[in-house]
Structure 1
Amino acid sequence: MLVFRQLFDPTSSTYTYLLGDSISGEAVLIDPVFEQVRRDAALIAELGLKLLWTLETHVHADHVTGAWLLKQRLGSRIALAAAGGAKGADRLLQDGERVSFGKRLLEVRATPGHTNGCLTYVLDDESMAFTGDCVLIRGSGRTDFQEGDARTLYRSVRARIFSLPDSCLLYPGHDYRGLTVTSVGEEKKYNPRLGGEIGEGDCVGYMKNLNLPHPKKIDEAVPANLRCGQPVAGAEASLGAEPGWAPLRFTFSGLWEVEPHWLEENLGKVCVLDVREPDEFTGPLGHIRGAMLVPLGELAQRAAELPRDKPIVAVCRAGSRSAHATAILQKAGFSDVANLPGGMLRWRGEGRSVEGGAL
């Protein structure tokens, strides 16, 4: 069974795609974004996958790839087009090659035009293809920089993408209107730049008159992506420093979590914030020794009562309200905050010490 997730970076409107083989657990990630590496790594871990490859559809001008950083953190390898001119990749892909993950594979199709090194990745059964900026939903990537050429783009799309079955789903590298997926049949019929009876000359005329502004991040993104995303000085500042006060885990939902066994051994180093109601705090589940009670509904107004010289671990009955509490505290300027997953139900279930509660 194929594991498939479509992820989104709102800053650059970039789609990142995770594909995995559920039997072997092997996976690939297409077009990762540097600032989203922590999110992507959390999802890969939660799904129990092993990332083999990060794949680029082209050298991007609007964001920096997360390929290098994922390689440092997860041991994945980097693959992109040989024609892209980037250095530091583990594999330079040519037209017709295949990238395998478990029993599944992606066929590499060269589709230049937006840039010289554009690739489209086609799933083995031709049920889906990942087109980068070559074909967008009712559009295409621009052709006015990075050796772009409208005639080449037109020919690439017609020969290498529109030759796929009409039912093949196309997943683009970007979308700026909230659209997520299209199909070969749709784009052949409705794409105003490349579909229908539009000829090569029509496409060229259309692309020459787009009059688009210069990409805002091109001067930063292109040089970085020609290094496969490796920072000049090895810094990871865009992600922020990893918290060092506890062995925390970052979740796909965007939360830091701390395990109960660490908390029990380090109660004196943190402030335990219980966000349940008072009757729950004194009820059958009891509460963690030394915990401070501030019900969730009062937390935003009472945040000033919390200490700022200690990390805060939020706890509730099952971990849901406390997860929301961490978000409230982060908005209030608290940086060292974590959730206790499973809450008091898990804490009691594991036989950890409590004050009060039923025996």
Structure 2
Amino acid sequence: MIFRQLFDAASSTYTYLLGDGGEALLIDPVYEQAPRDMALLQELGLRLIATLDTHVHADHVTGAWRLRQSCGSRIALAEVVGADLADRPLKHGDRIDFGGRHLSVRATPGHTSGCLTYVLDDESMAFTGDSLLIRGCGRTDFQGGSPQQLFASVRGQILTLPDDCLLYPAHDYRGITVTSVAEERRFNPRLGGDVDEGDFTGHMNNLHLPHPKLMAVAVPANLRCGRPEGDAPAPEAPSWAPLTLRFSGVWEIEPMALLEHAAKVQIVDVREAPEFIDGLGHLPGAMLVPLSQLMERIGELDRERPVVAVCRSGVRSAQASVLLTKAGFPQVANLAGGMLRWRFESLPVACD
């Protein structure tokens, strides 16, 4: 089984990819991270069959609708929330198959009325959403939350899993990535040890937390499974050339595509000067700006025209692409495979 834990820094949200037999699930995808997720799926050779949300999030918009538009995946979340566009409303005891594996669905309300926990078939992993966080839990003061329900959910549906079952939450604000049933049963200050329902309820009813900043936007959007209002189309890939987004976050252009679009782009070769005229040669019309000089010579580039970075193999030029993007260039791509790939495909070069 393939397992990846992904992170959205803006909302401190973890997204989880599980794959088996060429099929994949994504748990708690984030709208803005859909290109990243699709790039990873492509690189791993996986077909996304479903997105699963652990609950209706209040701090970010789900990527479920956007991924369905691009991948044809089904949208699954709790039946009780009544979300528009959900393909598979889930309830306690349901089973979600992917490849030769499956997740079982456990209803764990309390943070919200529609919280679900997804448990891997061998009970080695569980994805708890906000019902159980690492040494904490989600708040219980809106969206049908209830401290009494959450106490019962966590104690009855999560902490009854095997001691060595790894627990993966939807968020962590300290950079901690995973915990276990044994750890939380022993060390969770809200729900572990000898804490009883009265202790927990008294604590949760006196948190007095401000509402999440995006709540007024995120909750209505997530009840539409992330579809923008007015059926606005999902953001598209750059239109100036056919590009592929890699999991590293770098857009790449294939050699033949660059040959077709060369007249309208700036080709920046970031190798050192001797390499520019070595046996590999360089692309016709390329401008030599070694990576070591890129930032001090950045004013020589036109921000209004697309930039394609080139090096020997595509490694240094990928770094250049990141630097240019961070510097505010809106249209940047890396030549896939660099000059090695260009020469392998017998495309024209200059050696002067």
Match of 1:185 in 2: 182
Deviation at 1:267, TM superposition (A): 2.2
CA contact (8 A) 1:30 1:56 kept: yes
Query: Any conservation in 1 of the 2:270–2:288 contact (CA below 8 Å)?
Result: yes
The offset of 1:337, in angstroms, is: 1.2
User: AA paired with 1:310?
Assistant: R
Deviations, residues 6-51 of structure 1 (Å, cap 9, x unaligned): 0111111111100000xx2001000001111111111111111000
Separation in 1, partners of 2:8, 2:181: 24
Which residue matches 2:45? 48
User: Residue 295 of structure 2 aligns to a residue in which SS?
Assistant: helix
Instruction: State percent identity of aligned pairs.
Output: 64
Q: 2:348 aligns with which of 335, 340, 353?
A: 353
Output the amino acid matched with 2:16. Answer: Y
Give the structure 2 partner of residue 101 of structure 1: 98
Aligned to 2:265: 270
CA deviations 1:129-150 (Å, max 9, x no partner) are: 0000000000000001111000
Shift of 1:355: 1.3
- Give 1:309 deviation, angstroms: 4.5
CA contact (8 A) 2:50 2:73 kept: yes
Opposite residue 260 of structure 1, the aligned amino acid is: P
Equivalent position of 2:31 in the other structure: 34
Partner SS, residue 171 of structure 1? strand
**Contact (CA 8 Å) 2:313, 2:340: kept in 1 or not?**
yes
Q: Once the two structures are superposed, what CA deviation does each residue of 1:164-213 show, in whole Å capped at 9, x if it has no partner?
A: 10000000010011110000000000111111111110110111111211
The question of whether the paired residues in 1 share the 8 Å contact of 2:241 and 2:261 is answered with no
Q: Could you say what secondary structure the match of 1:189 adopts?
A: helix
Letter in 1 for 2:179: T
Q: Kindly indicate whether residue 217 of structure 2 is the aligned counterpart of residue 220 of structure 1.
A: yes
Residue 145 of structure 2 corresponds to residue 127 of structure 1: no
Kept in 2: contact 1:135–1:172 (CA 8 A): yes
Instruction: Using the TM superposition, give the Cα deviation of residue 316 of structure 1 relative to its aligned residue in structure 2, in angstroms.
Output: 0.4
User: Shift in Å at residue 297 of structure 1?
Assistant: 1.1
1:272 and 1:314 in contact (8 A); partners too: yes
Q: CA deviation at 1:85?
A: 2.4
| Correspondence 1:1-359 to 2 at 5 A | 2-21=1-20, 24-235=21-232, 241-356=236-351
Deviation of residue 57 (structure 1)? 0.4
- Residue type of the partner of 1:248? L
Structure 1 CA distance, aligned partners of 2:56 and 2:327?
A: 38
Q: Give the match's secondary structure for 1:233.
A: helix
Return 331-340 or 111-120, whichever deviates more. 331-340
Q: Secondary structure at 1:301's aligned position in 2?
A: coil
Q: 1:43-64 deviations in whole A, cap 9, x for unaligned?
A: 1111110000000101111111
Q: Secondary structure at the match of 2:39?
A: helix
SS in 1 for 2:61: coil
Listed one character per residue, the Cα deviations across residues 98-135 of structure 1 (whole Å, up to 9, x for unaligned) are 00001100000001111111000000000000000000
Write the distance in 2 (CA, Å) between the matches of 1:233 and 1:66.
17
Q: Distance in 2 between matches of 1:254 and 1:102?
A: 28
- Provide the C-alpha distance between the structure 2 equivalents of 1:265 and 1:198, rounded to a whole number of angstroms: 67
Alpha-carbon distance, 1:333 to partner: 2.5
Instruction: Out of 334-343 and 134-143, give the one that drifted further.
Output: 334-343
User: Per the alignment, in what secondary structure is the counterpart of residue 147 of structure 1?
Assistant: coil
Any stretches of 5+ residues in structure 1 without a counterpart?
none
Residue type at the aligned position of 1:16: T
Name the CA distance, whole Å, in 2 between partners of 1:150 and 1:57.
18
Structure 1 residues 309 and 181 mapped into 2: Cα distance closer, same or farther (>3 Å)? closer
Distance in structure 1 (CA, Å) of the matches to 2:59 and 2:306: 36
Cα displacement string for residues 217-241 of structure 1 (whole angstroms, at most 9, x for unaligned residues): 111011111111111023357x5x5
Distance 1:36 1:331 in 2: 17
- Bigger mean CA deviation after superposition, 208-217 or 71-80: 208-217
Displacement of 1:347 after TM fit? 1.2
**Separation in structure 2 between the aligned mates of residue 9 and residue 18 of structure 1, nearest angstrom:** 14
The alpha carbon displacement at 1:270 in A equals: 1.7
Give the structure-1-normalised TM-score. Answer: 0.96
- Bigger drift between 120-129 and 309-318 goes to 309-318
AA of the residue aligned to 2:331: D
Query: Distance between the aligned counterparts of 1:112 and 1:166, measured in 2?
Result: 22
SS in 2 for 1:129: strand
Counterpart CA distance in 2 for 1:187 and 1:150 is 17
Are the aligned partners of 1:84 and 1:118 in contact in 2 as well (CA < 8 Å)? no
Q: Structure 2: which amino acid aligns with 1:95?
A: H
Q: Give the alignment's TM-score, normalised by structure 2.
A: 0.97
